Amino acid sequence: MTHSYVVPIKLLATLTVPTVLALSLPASAQQPVQLLGASCTAVTDQPVSEPGTSRTFVLDYPCDLQPGEDVTVILNLHGAGSSEHYQRPYFPAWELKEKYRLVIATPHSPARRWREEDDQYLHNVVNAVFGAVGEDNVRAFWLAGHSQGGMTSRRIVCTEFFADKVDGFLSLSGGRLGGVAPRSPNAGRPTQANAAASAATAATPTVAPATAPAGDPTCDFSHIFAIGEYEIVALPDTSTLAQKYQCEARVRREDVIDTEAGRTHDSGSQSPGTREWGLLPRPGTAQVYEYPNCADGRVVADVMRLDKGHTEGLEPRILETIVGMMTRGVAPGP
Residue 44 has pLDDT above 90, yes or no: no
Higher pLDDT, 14 or 324: 324
Of 322, 240, 326, 228, residue with least CA distance to 278: 228
Average pLDDT on 118-126 reads 98
Distance CA 220, CA 157 (A): 9
31 pLDDT tier (thresholds 50, 70, 90): confident
- The pLDDT tens digits for 301-330 are 999 999 999 999 999 999 999 999 999 955
Residue 79 has pLDDT above 60, yes or no: yes
- Give the mean pLDDT of the chain: 87
Question: What structural domains and CATH numbers belong to the chain?
Answer: 32-188+219-326 (3.40.50)
Residue 331 has pLDDT above 90, yes or no: no
Residue type, 88: R
- The pLDDT tens digits for 166-223 are 999 999 999 999 999 999 999 999 999 876 554 444 445 544 444 445 579 999 999 9
- The pLDDT tens digits for 154-171 are 999 999 999 999 999 999
Average pLDDT on 26-50 reads 77
Looking at residue 200, its pLDDT comes to 42
